[in-house]
Structure 1
Amino acid sequence: MLRSLLFKKLEQKEQDMINHYKYLHQYPEPSFNEAKTSQYIESFYNDKDVVIHKRIGGNYGLIVEIEGSLPGRTIALRADFDALNISEDTGLSFSSKHDGWMHACGHDAHTAYLMVLAESLIELKDHLPGKVVIIHQHAEELAPGGAIDMLNSGYLNDVDEIYGIHLFPDYTPDVISYRKGPTMGGRSLFHLKVIGKGGHGSSPHLANDAIMAASTFVTNVQTVVSRRLNPFDMGVVTISSFNGLGSLNVIQESVELAGDVRYMESRIGHQIHDEIVQLIEGLEETFNIKCEFNYELDCIPLINHYKQTDYLVDILATSQGDYFESLKEHEQLTSSEDFASYLEKIPGTFFFIGCKPYGVDEAFYNHSPKFIVNEDALLTASKALGEVVLNRLSIE
C-alpha cells in the first residue's frame, strides 16, 4: 500500500527532518531577504528528478513540481520559511546565530517536514498518480506576503486543491485540529498623523493641541467595535504606537499613531475603515486640526473550503489512534495567515498540528522569544499532509 511505503520512508527520515529544522532555526532570515534559506532549499532538490522554479516574483520563493507516472490530479502543498525580528530567549543548543532574528513562528519546522515529505514522494513518483506541487514560500510574515508572488507566477494555475499546515502549541503533537469556513482573521494596518498648531505650554489657548486630539481618537476608536459593529461580528482595533515625544513645556504640532485591525470577514474590515474615517472627520472639526490617514489591507481572512475540510476530516479520521490520538475542531483564530490568498483562488484547507512541549501546563505561543517546537510534530505533520495528498491525488 502506497500509504505504508510513504510512512515507512518518513519514519526512516525523521532525524533528517529534525536536522533540517535545527539548521534552519540557527540561520533565520527576514521576509523578502531569505537568500541563503532559499539556496539551502534549492540545493536539497538539485539532484532530484523534479522541476524547480526559483526566484518567484523576483523574490526567494521556490516551486517544485513532482510529476507522477500515472494519470491523476494536481495537488499543492505549502510551507513558509521567513523569520521574525525577535531576539531568541529559548536556551536551545541550536539557538539563532543571527542577532535580533528568530524562527519564532515554526516556519523552520514547516520547511523541514515539507522538504522530507517531498523527497519521499519523489522516491515514490513511479507509483504516484497526477502531480504534486511543493510551494516553499518566502515572506509570509510581512505584507504584501509571498503568497501573492506564488499565485501570480502562473505555476499554480492548474492546481486542483491546496493544503497547508501550521504548528501551534495549543496541544501536544498527538492532536490534529481543523476548522471549516472562516478560520483565521483578516488584518489591516493604519497610520494616522494628527497635525495641529504648536505652542508654549503656558499658553494652550494659542495652540491646537495635537496630543489632545490624538488621545481623543484613541479613546473614541474603540467605540467602532463596541457601538458600531453588530455584536455578532468579530472586530478588534488596537493602537500599537503613539509618537508624541517632545519638550516638557511645548505643545507638539503633530502626533503620529499606528494601529492594527482584525476581523473574520472582509466586509467588517471595510466597515471599520469607513467608521474610522468618519471619526477622523469629526476630530478635525472638533479640534480644528488636520489628519493624514492611511489604511492598508495586510491579509484577507482565511476561509477554509467546506468540501476540502470534510475530505481532510474523513481521511484523518481513519488514522486517529495510529500516529496521532485526537482529531479536534479548532476555535477561530484572530491571528492572520497569508495562506488565505491561496484559498481565495484554489479549493483547499489549512489545518493545525500541536507542537506543545511535553510536561508543561502552558507553552509559550508563536511569536514569543521563548517559543519552542516539539520535534515530534514534524513527523506527525509530514504523515498527515502525506496521506491527504495521496488520497486526493487519486480521486477522479
Structure 2
Amino acid sequence: MKSMEQTLMSAVPDMIEWRRHLHRNPELSYQESATAAFVAEKLRSWGLEVRESVGGGHGVIGILQGTADGPTVALRADMDALPIQDEKTAEYASQVPGVMHACGHDAHTAALLTVARTMSSHRDQVGGRVVFLFQPAEETTPGGALPMIEAGVLDGVDVIYGIHLWTPLETGAVSSRPGPFMAAADEFTLTVKGRGGHGGLPHETVDSVYVASQLVVNLQSIVSRSTDPTQPCVVSVGSFHSGTSFNVIAESAALKGTVRTFDSRIRLEVKDRFEEIVRQTCAMYGAEVQIDYRLGYPPVVNHAGEAQRFERAAAGVFGTEQARYSPLIMAGEDFAYYLERIPGCFMFVGAGNKERGIVHPHHHPRFDIDEQAMVNAARLFLAVTEDYMKEHRG
C-alpha cells in the first residue's frame, strides 16, 4: 500500500497540469466562477462533501472525515488573479488579456487540491476532520475571508493553516514566525479638485497636478517624522492620474495608494496624520480634496504554539537549515481574519529559482514560480496537519 507521501508524489504531474490550466485561465477577485467550478468538481470526484458559493460569492469548501475521531483542521488556499497583462512567453501564459496570476494563487489552489486528493486516498491515516477552504477575492478589500467566516466555515474548526508561495525565498526553503508576521494593509484614494486653465496662464488656475505632487512628497514625512522609527510603517502612492493635454492645466488629479503598519495604535495615528497633511496641503494651495481612506486587512498574527509546530514539522520535512525564521513582511493578507478567531499559522514556501530565471517579484508582469514549490507546499500542509492531529487525537 502506498504511503501518503508516495500518493502525493504520484499526483505531481496532475498538480502541475491543474496549475497551468488555472494560469492560462485566470479570474479576477469576485469573478472566480470557472475556477470555483473546477475546484468543486475535483473535490466531489474524490468523495468529499462539497459546499459552493460560500459566503455569497465563489468560495468552495471540501470536508474530509477521517476514519478515526480527532480534531478539525482547516487548510486554506486563495483563488483570484490580478489585473495585470501577462508578459511571460511560457506556453501556460495567461490567455485572458489584462488578467494574470501574478501572485501564485493558481499554485496555492493546485497544491491544496493535491493535499485533498492525497488525504482522501488515505482516510485511515486521517485522525480527525479536514476542511479545505478555497477562498475568492484575497487581492481586493474587503476580501473573501470575512464572508466565508460569516458563512460558518470555521464552525467547529480547532486550528487553521495557510501557505503562500514566495519568490524572494529560494525553492526548498520555508519560513514563518510567531506573533506579527504580515502588515495591516490599508488603502486610500485622494481626489484633488483645483481650477483648470491654459498651460501658459498658470496664475489663473489652481494646478491640481502641482498640488497632488506636493501631496506625494509631504505624505512621506509621516514615516520619516511622524512615527516611531522603531515601528515598521510604509506609505506608498501607487497611482497618479491627471490631465489630458500638454498645454492644459488639469482641473483634478487622483492619487491611490496604501499604508502598511503592524501596531494598532500607530495604524490609527498614521491615518489621522495622513488626513491632516492632505487637508492642510490642499488648503495651502487653494484646492479642495476628497479623501477615501479605508482600513483594510488587519496584520497577520501567528499563534505562538502553531508557529512552533511549523518549525518542528518543517524541519522534519525539509531539514533544520531550510526551516527559517521570517523577517516581518510588509505585504498584507486577509488570512489575518481567520487568525483573529482561531489558532493557526501562516507560512511562506520558497518559490524562487535564480538559475531558471524565476526572480521576478509578486505582482510583476513576468511573475512565475518554480513548480517544485507546489510540492513543498503540499508536503508542509500534510506535515503540520499530521502533527496537530497526533497531538490532539482522541
Relative to the length of structure 1, the TM-score reads 0.92
Name the structure 1 match of 2:331: 335
Q: State the Cα distance separating 1:206 from its structure 2 match.
A: 4.5
Structure 2 partner of 1:376:
372
Q: Which moved more, 1:4-13 or 1:268-277?
A: 4-13
Output one character per residue of 1:77-132: Cα deviation in whole Å (capped at 9) or x when no partner: 01111111222222212222222221121111111111111111112223322210
- Among candidates 111, 125, 131, match of residue 123 of structure 2: 125
Matches of 1:288 and 1:113, distance apart in 2:
55
Please list the CA deviations of residues 299-319 of structure 1 after superposition, one character each: whole Å capped at 9, or x if unmatched. 222111111101111222233
Asked whether the 8 Å contact 1:194–1:292 carries over to 2, the reply is: yes
* 1:360 positional shift: 4.6
Partner of 2:307: 309
CA–CA separation in structure 2 for the residues paired with 1:178 and 1:280: 37
Letter in 1 for 2:69: P
- Cα 1:190–1:374 change in 2 (3 A) is same
CA distance in structure 2 between the aligned counterparts of 1:79 and 1:208, rounded to whole angstroms: 48
Residue type at the aligned position of 1:340: A
Larger CA deviation: 86-95 vs 284-293: 284-293
Task: State the distance in 2 between where 1:120 and 1:279 align.
Answer: 54
Amino acid corresponding to residue 187 of structure 1 in structure 2 = A
1:151-300 residue pairs with structure 2 within 5 A? Answer: 151-201=149-199, 204-300=202-298
Q: Deviations over 1:334-362 (max 9, x none)?
A: 11122112112121111111112362577
What's the TM-score, normalizing by structure 2?
0.93
Structure 1 residues 345 and 282, CA gap change in structure 2 (3 angstroms): same
- Is 1:366 matched with 2:362? yes
In structure 1, stretches of 5+ residues that fail to align are none
How many residues are paired up?
Answer: 392
More displaced 10-residue stretch of structure 1: 12-21 or 75-84? 12-21
Whether contact under 8 Å (1:192, 1:258) holds in the other structure is yes
Counterpart CA distance in 2 for 1:305 and 1:205 is 58
Judged with a 3 Å threshold, the aligned counterparts in structure 2 of structure 1 residues 375 and 294 are, in CA distance, closer, same or farther, namely same
Shift of 1:280: 2.8
Q: CA RMSD in A?
A: 2.2
Q: CA deviation at 1:197?
A: 3.4
Report the counterpart of residue 79 of structure 1 in structure 2: 77
The residue aligned with 2:45 is 47
Change (3 A) 1:223 1:27: same
Q: Which amino acid aligns with 1:41?
A: V
- How far off its partner does 1:284 sit? 4.5
Per-residue CA deviation, residues 1-44 of structure 1 (Å, 9 max, x unaligned), is x9x82111111212121121121111111111111111111111
The Cα of 1:253 is off from its aligned counterpart by 3.4
Contact between 2:184 and 2:261, CA under 8 Å: does it hold in 1? Answer: yes
Q: What residue is the counterpart of 2:133 in the other structure?
A: 135
The AA in structure 1 aligned to 2:341 is: K
What SS does structure 1 have at the residue aligned with 2:170? coil
C-alpha distance 46-228 of structure 1, shift in aligned 2 (>3 A): same
Identity %: 35
**Residues 23, 72 of structure 1: alpha-carbon distance in 2 compared, 3 angstrom cutoff:** same
